[in-house]
Amino acid sequence: MLGLHAVLLGFSPASSQTLTVYHVNPLHEGVLPIDMDTADLHGDMFFDLKSKTTPIERSSQFNGTRGGDCTNGEVVDTDLVISKLSIDVFGGFGEYGRCNICMEDGIDPFSGLKCTPGQYFCTCGNFRAPYACNDQRAVGREELSSAFGNFTICTWDVWVKAPWACWGWPVVRLTGGTWYSTTRAGWCDAPGADPATCTWRARVEKIVNKSCSDDIIYSAVEAYDAERDGCFARCPSHQRGQARNTSATCWIYCFYATVLGERTLVPGEHSDGMPLPELEAAFERPFLSEALGGCPSIPPPKSPVTQVPAHRSITRSWAQRRAAMIKRWYGEANSLRLPM
């Protein structure tokens, strides 16, 4: 009923709605999501929680072969910020565009299609048959439970070889969530934009350092565990607070065991983990005022209208890693989904 209502409203040009979205980005690229992807709170939680196994995937033990996203990962993170934005959306939603920065070789790391180096490039369509869609004006939308939700998450054959491959997918069942794509073609604040046909406008609510946000989220998960199982404290070379090693396999295991429930990491089983409202609160806390436990606010970079991605290696390695990660998720979801 609600969905039908939204569709009907979508065809009226006067209709608008305001979304609260989040995205992770290097600060120097700017924080307005021009030809970029953003997520609602649950979609942001999925992206973040699903990717904690990355250090294991990248370790030499596994050859770093899964997805090939092992380029310069460690140097990436100091410039990363998380932005909380309000987006006014005019008109209906369109297809979701997977937007990635085009590499120096002129190839989009997600789709393999040709693109202009250094520019953000968005692709729509089936994962196996993508096409460029930067010219789509409508704000794109992807429901994560339909994109990633319905398949056999983990088999015993996978589990005996790589148990960690079973830890990330249950996150989507916990969070669901929505991802959005917003193009320059639909941006109402672009120079010369047509107010009659433009589709979105964004306001920055707050920008925080990703390492500050990570610390708040990790501390909440560790505190929840400390009152119950004490998993983190039992890890070899356990370190408290910011000294924690989030690449340590034991820390990663305890993180998923706490968030999802220990039995959820075993094929075909389930136990309850951290309650969703507590996780939501942890993900929202960085954006509260500092007096309420939030992170310091980072000023937005100058002149968003002329915002162009900088040609710096730090940009490329974060973008490359993100694109490879998401590509692998779509690939796995495609190969695992039962035939209709």
Ligand X SMILES: *[C@@H]1O[C@H](CO)[C@@H](O)[C@H](O)[C@H]1NC(C)=O
Q: Which residues are near ligand X by CB under 6 A?
A: 27, 63, 65, 78-79, 81, 146, 149-150, 209, 211, 245, 247-249, 298
Give 117 or 304: the residue with its C-beta nearer to ligand X.
Answer: 304
The distance of closest approach from Cβ of residue 249 to ligand X in the complex, given in angstroms and rounded to an integer, is: 6
Side chain identity at 340, as an amino acid letter? Answer: M
Overall size of the chain counted in residues: 340
**Least distance in angstroms from the C-beta of 334 to ligand X:** 13
- Which H or E run contains 203? strand 200-209
Cβ-in-10-Å burial (0-12, 13-18, 19+) of 79 comes to middle
- Quick check: helix, strand or coil at residue 267? coil
Nearer residue to ligand X within complex by CB, 9 or 337: 337
Least separation in angstroms between residue 74's CB and ligand X is 11
Q: Least distance (Å) from ligand X to the CB of residue 150? A: 4
Tokens of 105: 């070789």
Ramachandran class of 118: left when φ > 0, alpha when ψ lies in -120 to 50, beta otherwise: left
Beta carbon of residue 208, minimum distance to ligand X (angstroms, whole number): 9
Q: Which is nearer to ligand X, 16 or 71 (CB)?
A: 71
Question: What is the Cα–Cα distance from 77 to 95, expressed in whole angstroms?
Answer: 30
- Residue 75: what residue type? V
108 or 214: whose CB is closer to ligand X? Answer: 214
For residues 88 and 200, the answer to whether their CB atoms sit within 8 Å is yes
**In angstroms, what is the minimal distance from the CB of 333 to ligand X?**
11
Which residue, 221 or 248, is less far from ligand X as judged by CB? 248
CA dist., res. 101 & res. 314, Å (int): 12
d(Cα 181, Cα 94) in Å, to the nearest integer?
Answer: 9
Q: Nearest approach, Cβ of 200 to ligand X (angstroms)?
A: 25
Distances in Å between the Cα of 227 and the Cα atoms of 16, 142, 222, 223, 261 are 45, 37, 9, 7, 14
CB of 222 to ligand X, least distance (A): 16
Task: Name every residue whose Cβ is closer than 8 Å to that of residue 107 and which is 6 or more positions away in sequence.
Answer: 113, 114, 115
Decide whether 16 or 249 has the Cβ nearer to ligand X: 249
Q: How far is CA 290 from CA 45, 69, 90, 206, 294, in A?
A: 21, 35, 33, 12, 4
Nearer to ligand X, 146 or 152 (CB): 146
Of residues 73 and 117, the one with the C-beta less far from ligand X: 73
In the complex, minimum distance from the CB of residue 210 to ligand X, in angstroms, rounded to a whole number: 7
How many angstroms separate the Cα of 209 from the Cα of each of 33, 129, 285?
17, 36, 13
Nearer to ligand X, 47 or 253 (CB): 253
Contact 305, 189 (CB under 8 A): yes
